[in-house]
Amino acid sequence: MSRKYETGSVFSKDGTVIGYRKMGSGPSLIIMHGGLDAAQTHMKLGMLLSQKFTVYVPDRRGRGLSGPFGENYGLQKEVEDV
């Protein structure tokens, strides 16, 4: 797969860096991976959807382009990250 995406990052509410890959144009769509995956596992899907959407594929905490889990990590932190 050729690299037809860009990377970026944002800061979550607690200051943790959340990295993502962005591709395509059109209405925005976020593909969020599960707990045992990383963003790379959904890049083919993202590329296909990017023909009609601006697709964001973030890395959850502790993976890839994102920062560590940090203190008081839990579901609320994951929601804040999105």
Digit-coded pLDDT (tens) for 60-71: 999 999 999 988
Alpha carbon distance 35, 38 (integer Å): 8
Give the global pTM: 0.86
81: in domain:
no
SS3 69: coil
* Mean of per-residue pLDDT scores for the chain: 91
Assess if residue 79 is contained within a domain.
Answer: no
Residue 74 lies in a domain: no
Give a yes or no: residue 77 inside a domain: no
Question: Domain count of the chain?
Answer: 1
Domain membership of residue 76 (yes or no) is: no
Q: In terms of residue numbers, what domain contains 47?
A: 6-69
- pLDDT for 2: 53
Tell me whether residue 78 is in a domain. no
Q: Of the candidates 62, 48, 38, 37, which has an alpha carbon nearest to the alpha carbon of residue 5? A: 48
DSSP string for 28-56: EEE----TT--GGGGHHHHHHHTTTSEEE
